[in-house]
Amino acid sequence: MNAILSQIRAELKASVDAKTQASFQRFFKEPVKAYGVKTATVEKIGAKYWKEIAHLPKAEIFTLCEDLYKSDYMEEAFIVSGWAPRLTVQFQPGDLSLFYRWIDVYINNWAKCDGFCNHTMGNFFEKFPELLPELEKWAKTKNRWVKRAAAVSLIVPAKRGKYLENAFRIADILLTDKDDMVQKGYGWLLKEESRLHQKEVFDYVVKNKKVMPRTALRYAIELMPPEMRQEAMKKD
């Protein structure tokens, strides 16, 4: 397994793009560790090495994923985000504690959070919806990325109109959080739910707009018609 990691890292280092390297930091408020490889190139490298490891037991692949996370490089985290959802058919309820630990320990910016949670966690909760209440516990933690994960783990199901009540319960917990990354996370979740539940999300926003941070509110109403957005933004 160490040989695979060495090959991946050698290929990433050989694929550094000067422009990407120079511009990477501007997307983040916190310092990020990155080789400076274009996203499309990272995806190709991840897909190439997936073919070499796909036959391995799930536990061994998860160990490789954790080793990639430990480096803290953005591109290595993105490879995990590409690999983990491919194991969806093998997911078991007990994997949730491992995924939680990865988010809690290794995820330290919005791109790592969203890249992992949108698909891996979205797939997980669609497979095991009985575990959705766990996200409400995540929303009550002190870790800003775990709190964001509580919301963005449901982004993909929300696009299809699923789990509206869970989304509202998560938003209730995060409603007055002062962290803009958390506000944007639950605002984004409400926005995606509004695709198929426009009235319900509009009513929720109007009911809570006196206490809802403007950042979250703007995200939540982004897909609504102008008149609904104006009504939601109106200060009483």
Contact 107, 149 (CB under 8 A): yes
Would the pTM count as exceeding 0.85?
A: yes
Rg (CA), the chain: 19
73 and 43 fall within a common domain: yes
Asked whether the CA dihedral 121, 122, 124, 130 is positive or negative, the reply is: positive
The residue among 183, 180, 108, 95 whose CA lies nearest residue 146 is 108
Query: For residue 185, what are its two tokens?
Result: 């996370």
Same domain, 108 and 223: yes
pLDDT digits (tens, 9 = 90+) for 26-41: 999 889 999 999 999 9
Verify that 41 and 114 share a domain, yes or no: no
Q: Are 86 and 129 in the same domain?
A: no
- Residues 104, 76, single domain; the answer is no
Answer with the one of 55, 71, 90 that is the final residue of a domain.
90
Question: Could you give the CA distance from residue 21 to residue 56 in angstroms, rounded to a whole number?
Answer: 33
CATH value at residue 228: 1.25.10.90
**Token pair belonging to 62:** 């998860």
- Full residue range of the structural domain in which residue 107 is found: 98-236
Cβ contact 207:223 at 8 Å: no
Structural domains counted in the chain: 2
Is residue 34 domain-shared with residue 136, that is, in the same domain?
A: no
- Identify the residue whose tokens are 């630990």: 101
Instruction: List the pLDDT tens digit at each of the 236 positions of the chain.
Output: 689 999 999 999 999 999 999 898 999 988 999 999 999 999 999 999 999 999 999 999 999 999 999 999 999 999 999 999 999 999 999 999 999 999 999 999 999 999 999 999 999 999 999 999 999 999 999 999 999 999 999 999 999 999 999 999 999 999 999 999 999 999 999 999 999 999 999 999 999 999 999 999 999 999 999 999 999 998 76
